[in-house]
Amino acid sequence: MRIDKYLKVSRLIKRRTVAKDVCVGEKISINGRTVKPSAEVKIGDRVILELGNHVIEVQVLSTPNSVKANEAHTLYELIRDERKTES
Protein backbone atom coordinates (compact mmCIF):
# COMPACT_ATOMS: atom_id res chain seq x y z
CA MET A 1 0.00 0.00 0.00
CA ARG A 2 1.19 3.54 -0.73
CA ILE A 3 2.37 5.47 2.33
CA ASP A 4 0.04 8.42 1.69
CA LYS A 5 -2.98 6.09 1.60
CA TYR A 6 -1.78 4.18 4.69
CA LEU A 7 -1.46 7.40 6.71
CA LYS A 8 -5.04 8.30 5.78
CA VAL A 9 -6.53 4.82 6.39
CA SER A 10 -4.76 4.54 9.76
CA ARG A 11 -5.98 8.04 10.70
CA LEU A 12 -2.43 9.16 11.52
CA ILE A 13 -3.17 12.01 9.09
CA LYS A 14 -6.79 12.96 8.38
CA ARG A 15 -6.65 13.58 4.63
CA ARG A 16 -4.72 11.86 1.85
CA THR A 17 -3.82 15.17 0.20
CA VAL A 18 -2.29 16.35 3.48
CA ALA A 19 -0.40 13.03 3.76
CA LYS A 20 0.91 13.56 0.22
CA ASP A 21 2.05 17.10 1.04
CA VAL A 22 3.82 15.92 4.21
CA CYS A 23 5.66 13.24 2.19
CA VAL A 24 6.67 15.76 -0.48
CA GLY A 25 7.99 17.98 2.34
CA GLU A 26 10.33 15.13 3.34
CA LYS A 27 8.74 14.69 6.78
CA ILE A 28 7.96 10.95 6.48
CA SER A 29 10.48 8.13 6.62
CA ILE A 30 10.11 4.37 6.38
CA ASN A 31 12.82 2.26 8.05
CA GLY A 32 15.07 5.32 8.27
CA ARG A 33 14.69 6.36 4.62
CA THR A 34 12.86 9.56 3.60
CA VAL A 35 10.13 8.62 1.14
CA LYS A 36 7.82 10.03 -1.52
CA PRO A 37 4.00 9.63 -1.38
CA SER A 38 4.12 6.61 -3.71
CA ALA A 39 6.51 4.59 -1.50
CA GLU A 40 5.18 1.17 -0.53
CA VAL A 41 4.64 0.37 3.13
CA LYS A 42 4.58 -3.24 4.33
CA ILE A 43 3.80 -5.06 7.57
CA GLY A 44 6.75 -4.71 9.95
CA ASP A 45 7.96 -1.36 8.55
CA ARG A 46 8.75 1.48 10.96
CA VAL A 47 7.27 4.81 9.93
CA ILE A 48 8.37 8.13 11.42
CA LEU A 49 6.25 11.27 10.98
CA GLU A 50 7.80 14.66 11.79
CA LEU A 51 4.94 17.14 12.04
CA GLY A 52 6.29 20.47 13.23
CA ASN A 53 7.62 19.85 16.74
CA HIS A 54 5.71 16.55 17.05
CA VAL A 55 7.42 13.22 16.23
CA ILE A 56 5.43 9.99 15.93
CA GLU A 57 7.03 6.60 15.28
CA VAL A 58 4.88 3.55 14.56
CA GLN A 59 5.35 -0.04 13.45
CA VAL A 60 2.96 -1.21 10.74
CA LEU A 61 0.81 -4.18 11.84
CA SER A 62 -1.69 -4.32 8.96
CA THR A 63 -2.37 -2.63 5.60
CA PRO A 64 -6.07 -3.02 4.68
CA ASN A 65 -7.64 -0.77 2.03
CA SER A 66 -10.23 0.53 4.47
CA VAL A 67 -11.11 0.27 8.14
CA LYS A 68 -13.67 1.77 10.49
CA ALA A 69 -12.51 4.83 12.41
CA ASN A 70 -12.71 3.11 15.79
CA GLU A 71 -10.45 0.28 14.51
CA ALA A 72 -7.80 2.50 12.86
CA HIS A 73 -5.45 2.27 15.86
CA THR A 74 -5.16 -1.51 15.30
CA LEU A 75 -3.20 -0.93 12.07
CA TYR A 76 -0.06 0.16 13.91
CA GLU A 77 1.83 -0.11 17.17
CA LEU A 78 2.89 3.22 18.65
CA ILE A 79 6.64 3.20 19.35
CA ARG A 80 7.24 6.88 20.12
CA ASP A 81 5.06 9.98 20.45
CA GLU A 82 6.95 13.03 21.61
CA ARG A 83 7.03 16.76 21.28
CA LYS A 84 10.34 18.50 20.73
CA THR A 85 10.95 21.38 23.10
CA GLU A 86 12.83 24.47 22.06
CA SER A 87 15.33 25.83 24.58
Question: What CATH number has the domain bearing residue 28?
Answer: 3.10.290.10
Domain total for the chain? 1
| pLDDT tens digit sequence for 19-51 | 999 989 989 999 999 999 999 999 999 999 998
Q: Which domain holds residue 25?
A: 3-83
Q: Is the pLDDT of residue 87 over 70?
A: no
Confidence of residue 86 (pLDDT cuts 50, 70, 90): low
pTM of the complete model: 0.89
Q: Please, which residues bridge with residue 56 across strands?
A: 49, 81
CA–CA separation, 35 and 47 (whole Å)? 10
Q: What does the mean pLDDT of the chain come to?
A: 92
How confident is the model over 47-64, as a mean pLDDT?
Answer: 93
> What's the DSSP call for residue 14?
S
